[in-house]
Structures are given as C-alpha cells and as structure tokens.
Structure 1
Amino acid sequence: MLGSGYDNDAFLVGDLVVRVAKVPDREKLGHEARLLTAVAAISPVPVPEVVFVDHEHGCLAYRKLPGTPLIDVPAVGPFVLDQLAEFIECTHTAEMAGLATVDNYSPAQWRDESVETYREIRDHVPVLHKPMVEAFLADSPPQPSPERVFAHNDLGIEHILVDGTKITGIIDWSDAELTDPAHDFAALYRDLGGPVVDRLLGKQAADVRARAVFYARCYALEDMAFALREGQPKYHEKALRALTWLF
C-alpha cells in the first residue's frame, strides 16, 4: 500500500497508482476522472492522468508521478512556494462551471463539526493549547465567502510531490470543487505555517486570510481525529505541529 487517507487507499501496481475509495461512489468517481482531464490541460504542474476507472469497485488508476510527498521532505525549498503561487492563481481563475460541483458548506457548519471533533480528541490535545482551542470553538465563525473559485480543496503537503528542484505533481483531486478560495490557503497554513502562507496570499483580501486561519484550525483538529482513528503517526505529528502556530 502506498498510503491511506480520509477517503481512499492507494496501491502501487507496476507503474500505476491504483486508488480505491473506502466508500465507492460511481457518480463522484466519474466526475473526478472528467475533471482531471480538464485540470491537466490548464495546470502549470503535473496532475494525475487517468488510465482507467472501475466504477463498480470505486477504483481509479493513473501513471505514478515522480517525486516525494512534501510531508516526507524535511525542508520546503523556495521553488515550492513560487510554483504553488502559480498553481493556485491558475486553478482559482480557471473556468470549471459544469465540471466541478459547488461547495455550500458554511463556516458555521465547519465550526459545529469541529466542536464534535474536539469532543473526540480532547484528551489528546496538549494542555497548553486547550484554552485557545476551546475559545476558538466558542467564538463566532467568519461570514461565508461571496466568491466561489475552482480549488483543489485538500491541498495538504501529503498531496504535493517534489524532487528537490520543482513540484512534480499534485495528487488526490477527489475533493476539488467550486468553493471559498480560502480553503487551498488553509490547508497550506495548517501544514506550513503563517509566514509561508502570507507569501502565497499576496494581495488577497483580509477576509480571505481570516477564513484561511479559521479553516486551518478546523483542519488541524480533523487531522488529529483522523490520525487517532486510523493509527496514522505522520498525520498526528503534522496536527501537533500545526497546533503550535494555529493556537
């Protein structure tokens, strides 16, 4: 097995990555395969090119992209930020209406879900961070974004492949939607910290940054819960690191 995430398990079969959904969804799988074809045409960095889809078993296969997941790389080279900035600008301005579904999950719903998640993981959150986590969950969530852009929507460092000089691939597009632009920045904020993401945010409006911080905090709690449920030490370490700059 190559790895296991929230929604999928991935296996290497020869030069193919075979990804199997934990809960098969014919419509979602077909949608993702069509979307990847469109993304490959506009992305400045490589994305998976689908070889075949097995709808019955929730299986999608693509040629293995070269590189190492950024989660396994000790330091983030400056080339990563430059290429991510280009990638985000390109995808967020792409016209994907009709191909991508629209995400209408509100910040209030995210906050409520995070409250439930925290109940599950509270005993595992370091004492130092508990007061700030609990204050965050008691606070009002930000207002929803009036804007929807096409976004990867799960742009964590486990989905970014690098080879030391360039990004060699961005994988796992199963959550891609027309959504709040803050989501892509939020996943990177969770994994890389504020100073790094401030460079990527550039001239984005202050409300985008505020929502990125909000979602990053929700994501960190979600990561910890996933790591504890699935026995994933990398995700657990990542979540604990994120708490140090998010709370």
Structure 2
Amino acid sequence: MIGDIRALLARHLPDVEVRSVTESGHGLDNEVYEVNEELIVRGSRAADPVATRREVDLLAAVRDLATVAVPEVVFADYEQGVIAYRKLPGEPLNLHPVPDPERLAAPLGRLLSALHGADPGELRELAPLDRYPAPTLLVDAGLDYRDVERHVPYEQRPLVEKFLRGTPPDEPRSMRFCHNDLGAEHLLVEAATSTVTGLIDWTDAAVTDPAHDFALIFRDLGPAVFEQTVAHYDLDFDETDRARVLFYARCALIEDLAYGLSTGPRHYADAALAHLAWTFG
C-alpha cells in the first residue's frame, strides 16, 4: 500500500516532498501510515466512498463539539477510502501509560459531557443509530470466551464464567452521540504530564448508549478513573448506567482478548489479561 500512498500524495498534495512512509498501525478495517513524521494517512481495507465522505463530514462537526483535539482532514480520496490529516500531538495511551491516570478523569468527563450533550438528531445523518442489544453482546462474549478460555489464568476463570451466566442489563433510557470506541489506543496523551492531547479514530461514532464510552474507560483505566470521570460528567448518571458500563466493559475485554490472540496485535490480549481482575472483580 506504500506505493499507493505515494501516488495519492502526488495527486492531492503535489508540493509535499515524501521523505518517509512508515506503517503506524492496523486494525480490522483500516491501515494507518505516517508520512514525514507529520501526516497521518489512513486507508480502508474495503473502500466505501459514501462512508468515507460521511466520516469527513463527521470530523468537521466533531471539531466544533470536542473539548480535545481531533483530526483535521487535509485531503480525502473517497474512491479509495483514504483520509489524511496532520499528526496530532501526543502518543497513544495504550502504548504510553501515564504516571498519574487519575489526571485524565476531568478532561474525559468534560469531553463526554460535550459529546453526549449534543443533539443526536442533528448528527443522525453522520452517525448511525447503533442499537446492538445486550443479550446478543452476551452471546457473542460467550462464543469469544470459548476460543480464549485456556489463556485466562485458572483462578480468574470463575469470574468470567459467572458473568457469562448472568442476566444482561436493561436497555438504556436514551441514546446519545458517542465516540463508541473510546479505548486507550485512541486516546492521545503527553505521558510525562498525564495530559490528554487528542482523540482519534471516529469511524465507529454512533448514536448509541452513552455507557459504551464509559465502559472502555473502566476497562482500560480502572474503576477509580471511571468514578472520577463520572464526577466530572454534567449529564444524568445513575446505578442502572453503572450496571451497563460494567456489562459493556466485560464484553469488550473478552472481545479484545480474542482479537489480540487471533488476528490483532498481541498487545490487545496483553492489556485484556492485565485488566481482567479489575474489570471482572
């Protein structure tokens, strides 16, 4: 794909001298490259011109909502499913842990207040409605667990298996605009100062249960940071919301463990195992 990126840059940014192109990550849907250590170029594995155009429009709308830096599109090639933006400051939190994660809570609370407080009706054309039901998530988690059970420490398996035998939570009272994939890999930070510097990868943004955003904070940063984030959240949040957060966090951890042990980078599995105790405890 590097050759394709050079051709794209020659077409869309003819005045830019391409000195280096390096792969900086990949997922189920996308490949990401860094150009000249200053430009991020993300290409879809299956180009969808309509989806790419919608994401470009969504990023423009999100820049007016978010309280942290988000990608500003430099160019997009809709037919090839490619979006390019200036590299944001900071490093991914999952690869660069901060010494004081509780300092992340206040900016995360303000960010979620801004996103979830937006009028979801105004964003429905850009962010689809996501009503994936909790019972189906629980079934999916059970199937994933069958594939990874042998990798889970023996003494921790009862915690996971008790959860999988449980009852899914009630459906949410309302649906809100969410990032919908707020894992540590998408949070950019300045590690030395424990500062949030940006939020990337908005491809899964949707109008959905706001507990999904909190769930990945719980999974990746732990219950203390989660509770402090809620303390800085301006919208209603009660015990039924907490129940859904915990449910989604557990499903997401099992999913990441399965992904990291199959087709994904191993660090997803390592993080899932490291966070299993606080997520299922």
Q: Structure 1 length as normaliser, TM-score?
A: 0.94
For the residues of structure 1 that align with 2:262 and 2:101, how far apart are their CA atoms? 32
Segment drifting more, 48-57 vs 29-38: 48-57
After TM superposition, give the deviation of residue 25 of structure 1 in Å. 2.6
After TM superposition, give the deviation of residue 77 of structure 1 in Å. 4.2
Contact 2:104 2:225 in 1 (8 A): no
Deviating above 4 A after TM superposition, structure 1's stretches of 4 or more consecutive aligned residues are: none
Q: What residue in structure 2 maps to residue 241 of structure 1?
A: 274
Contact 1:10 1:20 in 2 (8 A): yes
After TM superposition, give the deviation of residue 60 of structure 1 in Å. 1.3
Unaligned stretches of 5+ residues in structure 1: none
Segment drifting more, 150-159 vs 224-233: 224-233
Q: What residue in structure 1 maps to residue 32 of structure 2?
A: 10
Please tell me whether residue 187 in structure 1 is matched to residue 187 in structure 2: no
Tell me which of 35, 39, 42 is aligned to 1:19. 42
Unaligned stretches of 5+ residues in structure 2: 1-22
Q: Determine which structure has more spread, i.e. the larger CA radius of gyration.
A: 2
Please tell me whether residue 153 in structure 1 is matched to residue 176 in structure 2: no
Contact 2:70 2:200 in 1 (8 A): yes
After TM superposition, give the deviation of residue 51 of structure 1 in Å. 1.6
For the residues of structure 2 that align with 1:26 and 1:79, how far apart are their CA atoms? 39
SS at match of 1:60: strand
Contact 2:102 2:225 in 1 (8 A): no
Q: What residue in structure 2 maps to residue 115 of structure 1?
A: 142
After TM superposition, give the deviation of residue 127 of structure 1 in Å. 1.1
After TM superposition, give the deviation of residue 80 of structure 1 in Å. 1.6
Tell me which of 10, 27, 30 is aligned to 2:53. 30
Q: What residue in structure 1 maps to residue 20 of structure 2?
A: none
Supply the AA of the counterpart residue of 1:92. H
Q: C-alpha root-mean-square deviation of aligned residues, in Å?
A: 1.5
For the residues of structure 2 that align with 1:30 and 1:89, how far apart are their CA atoms? 26
Kindly, what percent of the aligned residue pairs are identical? Answer: 42
How many residues end up aligned between the 2 structures? Answer: 247
Superposition map of 1:41-52 within 5 A: 41-52=64-75
Please tell me whether residue 58 in structure 1 is matched to residue 85 in structure 2: no
For the residues of structure 2 that align with 1:230 and 1:54, how far apart are their CA atoms? 27
For the residues of structure 1 that align with 2:142 and 2:264, how far apart are their CA atoms? 22
After TM superposition, give the deviation of residue 233 of structure 1 in Å. 2.6
Supply the AA of the counterpart residue of 1:171. I
Q: What residue in structure 2 maps to residue 89 of structure 1?
A: 113
Q: Structure 2 length as normaliser, TM-score?
A: 0.83
Q: What residue in structure 2 maps to residue 142 of structure 1?
A: 169
